[in-house]
Amino acid sequence: MFEELLSTIGLPNLVLIIVGLSLLVVVVLLMSYFRVLVSIANFTYPNAKFRAHGNPFIKKENLKPLSESRNINEVYSKIREHNYDIPKEATEDINEVEKNLEMDTIDYIKKAYMATPNEAKPLVNAWLAKYDVKMTKRAVKAVSREKKKEEIDQKVLPVKMIDESLKDEIISARNMQELLGILKNTDLDEVLAGKEWEDNFFELDVALDKYLYEKMRQSVMQVEAEEKSPVKYFFGKYTDILNLKIVFRGIREDIDEEILKDSLLPPGRELEKWKLENMIDSTNLEEAMVELEGTSYADLRTEGASMSGFEMEMYLDKKLLSTVSEILSQNILTVGPMIKYLVAKDLELRNLKILIRGLEEGMDSEKISSMMIMEE
């Protein structure tokens, strides 16, 4: 067979073919390696910025001394040292302090978007949409509860879709019908239209979470090939955690099983739909925890059933922090620092709010520390 092929092609021609194929393989390998080098080069500057600014308020060595401080003004000074802008006049009102911290966090996410290379920008853009969703939830709940305009102004902040102009319109809404009319020209029209949301806050939160999930899913599809694997891993784990939050909240609030099943997001990385539905069908939380056996959430079986809603959220947020720390260690030259930075910025805001609230209320330092999410 080989002799026939050789006689047909001829030895010189066969040598040329082999050399040509070898060169093609080398070129393909070099192109692949070149794309990796380009990706690393593109992330060099933004990653340097993420590391330089860092996430100081998830670190135990920074948070522990602050929780033990008895001088709130010294705490504010320490926070300012890490580029959070808390005007002196704002410290007279803790609500103003929280507002400034949140505005700074939103601004940091916007700056991260500007710094991030084009191949990963869609993910940061979707992460920023989280804050638009958060403000929408606040607006709907505030209007439903007939909160004063001053309170709505305090809590609803401009992000991207909800800009200054739209915020002013939201504040002016006199009832839910007017608010939904104001939001009609945004991406959220289809999400919010056709339902009465007064006191139906579980379904409101889920509807907006599904909207955000879809934004995140689309962003993952748009990320370039070199960064897609760690981003997909992150998104899968993030979806698992969101689904667990929905299930545990639904069980605690005694939400109808069919409504709760319809509220689930598509499956994430570890938790298939049938497993989540079995949790919902369980007679109690302890029984639901059994379904987590064989997953990275299995440690919930030991004490998860006795956790409060706050403790459960905290456990799941710690899991997310652990996930992004793992992604950072494995993708330190590309998307790792960016993903860690985004998640940790959320947790920093949470920690700082707990810190200043606890200190203002004279809470014991150990209690404050136990409520914050810290990494060693």
Three-state secondary structure of 120-159: CHHHHHHHHHHHHHHHHHHHHHHHHCCCCHHHHHHHCCCC
- Average pLDDT of the chain is 88
Tens of pLDDT, residue by residue over 272-315, are 999 999 999 998 888 999 999 999 999 998 888 889 999 999 99
pLDDT in tens, 2-20: 455 445 555 455 454 565 5
pLDDT category at 23 given cuts 50, 70, 90 is low
pLDDT of 102 = 97
Give the lowest-confidence range in 24-38, 245-259, 317-331. Answer: 24-38
Residue 319 pLDDT > 80, yes or no?
Answer: yes
Least confident of 109-123, 181-195, 263-277, 357-371: 181-195
Residue 347 has pLDDT above 80, yes or no: yes
Q: Rounded distance, CA 317 to CA 347, Å?
A: 8
pLDDT score at 355: 96
Q: How confident is the model at residue 32 (pLDDT cuts 50, 70, 90)?
A: very low
Residue of 189 and 124 predicted with greater confidence: 124
Average pLDDT over residues 143-156: 92
At residue 103, the pLDDT reads 96
* Out of 53-57, 65-69, 193-197, least confident range: 193-197
Q: What percent of the chain has pLDDT over 90?
A: 71
Phi first, then psi, for residue 256 (nearest 5°) are -50, 135
Average pLDDT over residues 139-152: 91
Q: What stretch of H or E contains 261?
A: helix 257-263
pLDDT at site 30: 43
Q: Tell me the per-residue pLDDT of 212-252, one tens digit each, with 9 for 90 and over.
A: 999 999 999 999 888 899 999 999 999 999 999 999 999 99
**3-state helix/strand/coil string of 15-45:** HHHHHHHHHHHHHHHHHHHHHHHHHHHHHHH
Residue with token string 């710094």: 115
> Does the pLDDT value for residue 29 go beyond 50?
no
